[in-house]
Structure 1
Amino acid sequence: MELAGLNGTTLAFIGDAVFSLQIREYLVELGNQKPNTLQKLSVQYVSAKAQDKFLKTFLDNNILSEEEQLIVKRGRNSKTQTIAKNADVITYRNSTGFEALWGYLYLSKQEERLNELLAMILKKGE
């Protein structure tokens, strides 16, 4: 698959699914079994506000490579047809950039890097 040709929203589409699955697996591994509880806990990670916060932490601490920052910008600057329900436009765009990064790392088979960034998020969330 040629990743250079994929637009930011396509990368975000994949990244959203991957990140959501990773968070769900993490929460289930913690022993949570009630669907309502799982949903409430997952929102702390998969909401636009949470993803915006994670991205800002990565950027503020120079954690992302130049290539990763370009992917974030590609996602953040993408034209989207959807409107954020629970977030302002800037938060929503940053969230899309975060998801685009996640999708890119997943599709480019950078599993070690994906796990490294996920571990930072989970450590911060504890």
Structure 2
Amino acid sequence: MLENVKNQSGLSLAFIGDAVDELFIRRYLLSTGLTKVNQLQRRSKEFVSAKAHAKLFSLMQEENILSADELSIFKRGRNSHPHTKAKNTDAVTYQISTGVEALLGYLYLEDDQERLKEIIGWMIKKVEDGETRE
């Protein structure tokens, strides 16, 4: 992968993390037997929206599942200054989501597939268990 992953900006990590998250979730949703695109799209929002990411991060903190290094990467993404405005959410929620995506992007670029799958699997379980519902 990239040699300078640790030097990537939070937004660069979030850019790839967003795609990684989408791909893992889409694959998961297909594995559940859903076939209609509208259903797939609606369900995917439960997993990859900024609001879902913010709730998931709150649960990550409660359960203390992130290492110090992972938390540092999350903060790099969260504290970055995106040049776009949040859609359908507030700025703080959007920043937290960017941090989650940065963490996923970092793990992907570091080729830490085991940890990436562990965290995304944990996220899927929390959503499916209803722990992210309002």
Between the two proteins, what is the percent identity of the paired residues?
50
Residue 29 (structure 2) pairs with residue 15 (structure 1): no
Separation in 1 of the partners of 2:43 and 2:29? 8
Aligned length: 126
Instruction: State the secondary structure of the residue aligned to 2:80.
Output: coil
Residue 68 (structure 2) pairs with residue 66 (structure 1): yes
Give the aligned partner of residue 76 of structure 1: 78
Counterpart mapping for 1:89-100 below 5 A: 89-100=91-102
5+ residue gaps in structure 1?
Answer: none
> C-alpha displacement at 1:119, in angstroms?
1.5
User: 1:82-115: per-residue Cα shift (whole Å, max 9, x none)?
Assistant: 1001110110000000000000000001111111
Give the aligned partner of residue 105 of structure 2: 103
Normalising to structure 2: TM-score of the pair?
0.92
> C-alpha displacement at 1:120, in angstroms?
1.1
Separation in 1 of the partners of 2:54 and 2:42? 18
Amino acid at match of 1:91: T
Amino acid at match of 2:71: Q
Amino acid at match of 1:76: R
